Structure formats: C-alpha cells, structure tokens
Amino acid sequence: MAGQVDALYLYLVLVSAVMTVLIYLAVVVLAVKFRRSAGHKAEQIEGSTVLEIGWSVIPFGVMLTFFIWGALLYFKERTPPTDATEVYVVAKQWMWKIEHMEGQREINELHVPVGENIKLVMTSQDVIHSFYVPAFRIKQDVLPGRYTTLWFKATQPGTYHLFCAEYCGTSHSGMIGHIVVMEPRDYAQWMTGGPSIPLPEAGKQLFSTLGCSTCHRFDIQGRGPNLQNAFGKPVLLEDGRTVMVDDNYVRESILNPTAKIVNGFKPVMPTFQGLITDEQLNALVAYVKSLGQPAAGTAGAQNQPAASPAGQTQKTQVQ
C-alpha cells in the first residue's frame, strides 16, 4: 500500500511542481517585461471568457484525476480483505493495548507476521486517539464507544514506528510504540511464548459467568436472540429497519441493549455499560463472532489454540 500511496503522491508533486513553476514563471516574466518605464503605458484588457472558462475547467479536469485515483486508493485502504487476521486494539491515555485472537497481549508493540493481512479492530477507553503507522501510510482514529477498523499487510520484516496522531492530552507524544514485522517462523515462535487463553474462549467463559447464556440460548428459544450463526448477517429490527450484525452492533447491544431491538424480542436486557472493561467487551464480541463463523475456523481457534499459529504460518507460506 505504501508504494501505491507514494506513486499517487509523486503524481501530485509533479503536477503541483509544474503548476507552481508555470505560475511563478508567468508572474516573474510578466512583472519584468511590463515593468513601469517612461513612455510605456498599460493597455487595458477586459478579460476573456474563453480563457477564464479554460483555466477553470482544465484544472478541474486534472483535479478529477486526483479525486478518482485518491478515492480508489482510499477504498482499498478502508476495505479489509475477508481473510485478514483480526487483532484487537484498545487505546487509552497514553498507551496502546493489543490483544491477539490467540490470547497474547502486548503494550505499545504489535507483532505481526510478514505478508499476512492484518485487520485491527480498535476502540478507546477514554478520548479519541489515532493509530498511525507512517511506514505503511495508514492512519485511523480510535474512538471511545465504538469500533473502528484498519488493515495492512506488511511486506518487509523490521520494526516500524507507531504513533498516536490525534491529540489526546499530556503525554500524547509519549503514546508511541512499534510494529514488529517478523518472518512467519519467528512469529510462530513468538506466539507460542507465554500462557494465554484465546480471546473467543475468554469470551465464552464471560458469556456464562455474566449470565448471558441464560437468555441467549442455543438449544431452545430464550428471551434473547440465539447468537449461533448470527454474526455477519443482517437482522430485522422491531422498528422495521435491518442492521448488519457486526462488531459495532454487538458492542452496542451489550452496552446499550435497548437501542436496536431484534424483531420479536422485548427490551428486557440490562445494560453492561460501566460493568465490564473494554478488554472483556472485545472478548465477548470475539466470542459472538466465532459463533457466526463457519465451523472450521471457529473450531480451530476455540479448541486448539496451539494449532492456530501453525495454521497461519502455513497459510502465509502458501501465499
């Protein structure tokens, strides 16, 4: 992606340089040629509609190329591939907390394997932050109260700057870290270090300890919707609207359950606002997500955590 951004940037720099030189040259040449001198008089010119329309329309045409190229690139930057590995990011004053699906946690560092599509699902515990990796030319604000996403594919192993780009208070300039891009083999090694419970598994435990499972049942119709295979599909609401069951909808339904009631259910669920942390919320969302995914991937992530990195390594090698 960085290469594509740089290509567009270079195009803009070239066009701008040409424009700037043309305007500067015109001003200098005209100012010298028609400088005030004895016996020389200004000649009045009213204007020229043809010229003026010309220098309105032609630059606009050039600008349209900026627009189209820029919009296409943005579309790519903002549309994560479906096979991307998800990583949760929780920002707070003034640190980045990273949670891998496999359960590994990091602070101010994000380890990723080279060549793999990574999708970050991000939220903030307090104010607005912005996840910025200049080397990858990507940036996305991280908001409290909702998820925003960002994706990238690192192509070179190495360590890259991670900055907070949205001013967030005293230590804004200290809210920095690194993206560590590793060879798949090293990454698999890194992943196996340290004990951890996979995120969906942690979510599953919460799902029962918080009592979610008493209403959201999988066997019979409970008081809440059955969440099996719900994620990633549209659902009809009581007021006739349809919403996509995505990270943000699941999050909102936990924190503000009465906002969007599924058709046929009563607004009986209590809010969990302030009762659970963003990390717990992420685990729950990851769990609900795992319920909605095709069985194979879910089973892998849920039952055999150790196999997961190995599986990813394989996938990377195939690519």
Q: Which of residues 189-248 bind other proteins (CB under 8 A)?
A: none
Q: Restricting to residues 170-189, which ones interact with other proteins according to CB under 8 A? A: 170-174, 176
Which residue's CB is nearer to other proteins, number 178 or number 315?
A: 178
Is residue 51 at the binding interface for other proteins, with CB under 8 A as the rule?
Answer: yes
- Is the CB of residue 58 less than 8 Å from the CB of residue 92? no
**60-68, 191-199, 278-286, 301-309 -> range binding other proteins (CB under 8 A):** 60-68
- Helix 199-209 to helix 278-292 angle (10° resolution) is 100
Which residue's CB is nearer to other proteins, number 52 or number 263?
A: 52
Which residue's CB is nearer to other proteins, number 93 or number 229?
A: 93
Q: Among 84, 106, 114, 143, which residue interacts with other proteins (rule: CB under 8 A)?
A: 143
- 99 vs 199: CA distance, rounded Å: 8
Task: Name, in order, each residue with C-beta under 8 angstroms of 160's C-beta and a sequence gap of 6 or more.
Answer: 133, 134, 135, 136, 154, 178, 179, 181
* # residues near other proteins by CB under 8 A: 83
Q: Restricting to residues 8-37, which ones interact with other proteins according to CB under 8 A? A: 8-9, 12, 16, 19-20, 23-24, 26-27, 30-31, 34-37
Which residue's CB is nearer to other proteins, number 145 or number 232?
A: 145
- 267 vs 197: CA distance, rounded Å: 33
Task: Please state the closest distance from residue 184 (CB atom) to other proteins, in A.
Answer: 27
Task: Please state the closest distance from residue 251 (CB atom) to other proteins, in A.
Answer: 11
- Sign of the torsion angle spanned by Cα atoms 101, 105, 110, 113: negative
Is residue 138 at the binding interface for other proteins, with CB under 8 A as the rule?
Answer: yes
Task: Name, in order, each residue with C-beta under 8 angstroms of 290's C-beta and a sequence gap of 6 or more.
Answer: 200, 203, 298, 301, 302
Which residue's CB is nearer to other proteins, number 167 or number 218?
A: 167
Task: Please state the closest distance from residue 100 (CB atom) to other proteins, in A.
Answer: 23
**In this structure, what DSSP letter does residue 175 have?**
-
Q: Which helix (H) or strand (E) holds 182?
A: strand 177-182
Which residue's CB is nearer to other proteins, number 137 or number 216?
A: 137
Task: Please state the closest distance from residue 313 (CB atom) to other proteins, in A.
Answer: 30
- 87 vs 279: CA distance, rounded Å: 12
